[in-house]
Chain A
């Protein structure tokens, strides 16, 4: 082989412009899918979306649309957007955010119309779908707020699942024994703190790998509550496992507003606490001394230490506070959703909350909306299986998890975790 003349052709500058074809390709594939399924495969009938019930104080007319029209219009609009994305990427420019947002909304409308239209009864209560999403999102939102509090201060919280489950268990037992749902709520918060305490002691004092402590805690709580459930709770479930439910509190007048009323103003105390917690954590995190210090110890603990902030105490307190939040979230399962504890009843919601935290970019508001999306996916799968759609039930039940995977892997992009999240701080 000659060595002097094997000079490979140099690459030209235009090839190497850093551009990602990921988004245009995804958009094109999805748009084509929409064309063939939602437009070509559209059911021929009309679809009804109800906005209120007949006996509501304010009655709004239902929205009736033709499935093929919506299918074709949305699919063609999505194709236009996909082509736009391809052109923008080819000329080396960025795809505007509104393109992605409009695309997502179109997809959602087309999908809903198609899937409801294909059901045996092509008629769905839109307000119920949304209100149900919020309800299902409540534990997720509490869970991801718990994650925000921990991770913003630099401790990875895998134990959200355990905190929720132990909160649910404690709420059920305490409420059953005392006969008061509010005692149950309090007990749930204490239970969450107990799980947090173990996490904090091992990960901060003993510098054990935080992910491992979290996973072990989840398994521990699952085993402990599972054992107590079969050994104690099932033996005398009248005494141990029949908690009263938290009452739904309607806020006068506001609760009667169509669509919005059921979402915001017909909640249990846990639901209202959820809204308050999101707002409080957001404001405190970005506008208070506590928040500044929390973010500092999560980003650059040494800098905080050299300014006289006690890093590990800050982290310890935050992890305990996270336990309060997640514990209250856990009470949702036994005091709101159903009345009574069941083995492993949180069913992986803590991990979905973790995904919501990442999808929401470690921001309380972002986590709130991410959790709503997951709640919506869960509720949609419930509603659709009741309506009787052509999609098999098993696939529908996968929906929330598919959304999770896509959200975390694909759409988030370069989401930036707090700089020191998961890294223990050792002085010196």
Chain B
């Protein structure tokens, strides 16, 4: 099936998310859409899938114009989509999820799930998915959930599959498996639209690459084009993809975690017997696929988790069992993983957000009242120092772009002398330009002698920043390896292999770098 988008424009009020985008997807082709977060890739795909009406433009299927009033029309035309945030009902079984909207029924509208199970098994066998139709979706690992999404599209006879940032939630091993599945689908004559901002994956699977920036197609590229060329096309200027950073000069070990265990309300050990140390002037990166205990670990350090055992000491002081405020007072700076919910108060002004951790200290507090002028001065200084793009210090923080919001959070956390700095996903959803800046600030903090912990699910970021890397898998430490270790080793560890085995195996294989 040939799919063509001609002059697609989508406006939200005054914001132009897509600006006259043209795109042709040939049958049996993997067509990659490369662009930064917020470049308009997902909007374009939502238009194609019938979730948004295009403001202007036309969609052609096999050279015939079509209009999609909703996803139902798009599916009927042979378009299937695997959303970045899975569209699965968590409490339903796989079969119920696949059946939904396309139910096989017996007399009187009664469900015939047996029919659906048979179809799932057939597709599952054909592509080697290994999916149990009766498993409840919320109990499945994300990689399997993604396969359920693909099955949903295939059951509806999709000829064009849109995969929206499919690798963001996967381990490197699962990513490899997904790329394998994509090759199989392509061999079966399906077309795939692959949306990503990860250059390596895009180069590995694409037949054609279209680069999108600020809602516009800025060019097409050949998969064999060098990475730096793709990156500069994507960002719009030449970017240095490598960070200049001096080797670490670790000092005294001041932060120690001993035997840390965090229990979830259901009794499961979400963090299981962790022990590690961080020295002054080094960056320890905590790598792992999302949901392997990283969130609970950082929250346990901050005093945000119940049912924590073990010991967490900073400069010899026990932090465990202290209130969040006491932990902050002890000199811990924290950038939470979801800045818009936990890092900022979206309806507060930038100036207010910049002093959330010091609002009751001089000079901002005067008795029971607050000093507006001190807040304003502080805000102006920070906005200038961090190059925060905001209309004014009084704008609501929620109106800023992701990168600028993150700058506000960082500026606040770095605004006082720190004994320990923790950042979770410091550059998630942040544009490449801001990433460089934020990374340099983190390294500067390290060079100032602060122990730094970075939690990230992005291997690129981990390898870029880390002096040492700790890998978490199901709440347990798979080992701590030097920051210079190869991706293969990290990939194996993220899939649950202890460090020594992973190092040995990677040494044996010396496989290609993907």
Contacts and interface: CB of A to CB of B under 8 A. Distances in A.
Interface of A: 3-13, 15-18, 287-293, 295-296, 299-300, 302-310, 416, 419, 427-428
Contacts of A295: 89, 92
B262 to A, nearest CB: 9
A309 B108 CA distance: 19
Interface stretch (B26-34, B80-88, B184-192, B229-237): B80-88
A296 B307 contact: no
Contacts of B226: none
A307 B102 contact: yes
A292 B110 CA distance: 10
Contacts of B92: 295-296, 299
Interface string B264-306: 1111000000000000000000000000000000000000000
Interface residues of B, number: 49
Given A5-B316, A11-B321, A292 B103 contact: yes
Nearest to B267: A18
Given A292-B96, A308-B71, A8 B321 contact: yes
A304 B81 CA distance: 13
Contacts of B315: 3-4
A3 B321 contact: no
Contacts of A307: 71-72, 75, 87, 100-102, 152
A291 B264 CA distance: 33
Nearest to A309: B101
A290 B109 CA distance: 7
Contact of B309 (A3, A15, A290): A15
B349 interface: no
B300 to A, nearest CB: 11
Nearest to B70: A308
Nearest to B308: A16
Given A287-B110, A419-B90, A304 B100 contact: yes
A3 B51 contact: no
A10 B101 contact: no
Contacts of A309: 100-101
B82 to A, nearest CB: 10
Contacts of A9: 318
A296 B100 contact: yes
A16 B263 contact: yes
Given A289-B109, A307-B100, A12 B309 contact: yes
A3 B111 CA distance: 67
Nearest to B260: A10
B90 to A, nearest CB: 7
B507 to A, nearest CB: 36
A6 B111 contact: no
A300 B99 contact: no
Nearest to B49: A306
Given A7-B318, A292-B103, A300 B90 contact: yes
Given A302-B87, A306-B71, A292 B311 contact: no
Contact of B316 (A4, A16, A299, A302): A4
Interface of B: 49, 51-52, 70-73, 75, 81, 83, 87-92, 96-97, 99-103, 105, 108-111, 152, 258-259, 261, 263-267, 307-311, 313, 315-318, 320-321
Given A10-B259, A293-B100, 15 more contacts: A4-B315, A11-B309, A18-B263, A290-B109, A296-B89, A299-B91, A304-B89, A304-B100, A306-B51, A306-B71, A306-B87, A307-B100, A308-B73, A308-B75, A427-B51
A5 B315 CA distance: 9
Given A10-B311, A289-B103, A428 B52 contact: yes
A10 B313 CA distance: 10
Contacts of B111: 287-289, 291-292
Given A293-B100, A306-B81, A307-B102, A10 B307 contact: no
A65 B75 CA distance: 69
Given A7-B317, A290-B109, A18 B307 contact: yes
Contact of A304 (B101, B258, B308): B101
A300 B88 contact: yes
Nearest to A301: B89
B313 A7 contact: yes
Nearest to B322: A8
Contacts of B317: 3, 6-7
Nearest to B312: A10
Contact of A6 (B73, B75, B318): B318
Contacts of A4: 315-316
Nearest to B97: A303
8 contacts: A5-B316, A11-B321, A12-B309, A18-B307, A292-B96, A303-B88, A303-B97, A306-B81
Q: Which 6 A/B pairs are nearest by Cβ-Cβ distance?
A: A308-B72, A307-B101, A10-B311, A303-B87, A8-B318, A16-B309
B330 to A, nearest CB: 9
A105 B263 CA distance: 34
A12 to B, nearest CB: 7
A310 B50 CA distance: 13
A98 B138 CA distance: 28
A11 B317 CA distance: 14
Contacts of B103: 289, 292
Contacts of A299: 89-92
A208 B324 CA distance: 37
A6 to B, nearest CB: 6
B322 to A, nearest CB: 9
B100 A10 contact: no
Contacts of B307: 16, 18
Nearest to A5: B316
A9 B83 CA distance: 48
A304 B51 CA distance: 12
A23 to B, nearest CB: 15
A232 B72 CA distance: 52
Nearest to A16: B309
Contacts of B308: 11, 16
A11 B320 contact: yes
Identify which of A9, A13, A291, A308 gathers the most chain B CB atoms within 10 Å of its CB: A308
A398 B52 CA distance: 54
Most B CB within 10 A of own CB, among A295, A296, A304, A427: A296
A308 B81 CA distance: 12
Contacts of A5: 316
Contacts of B263: 16-18
Contacts of B110: 287-289
A62 to B, nearest CB: 46
Contacts of A428: 51-52
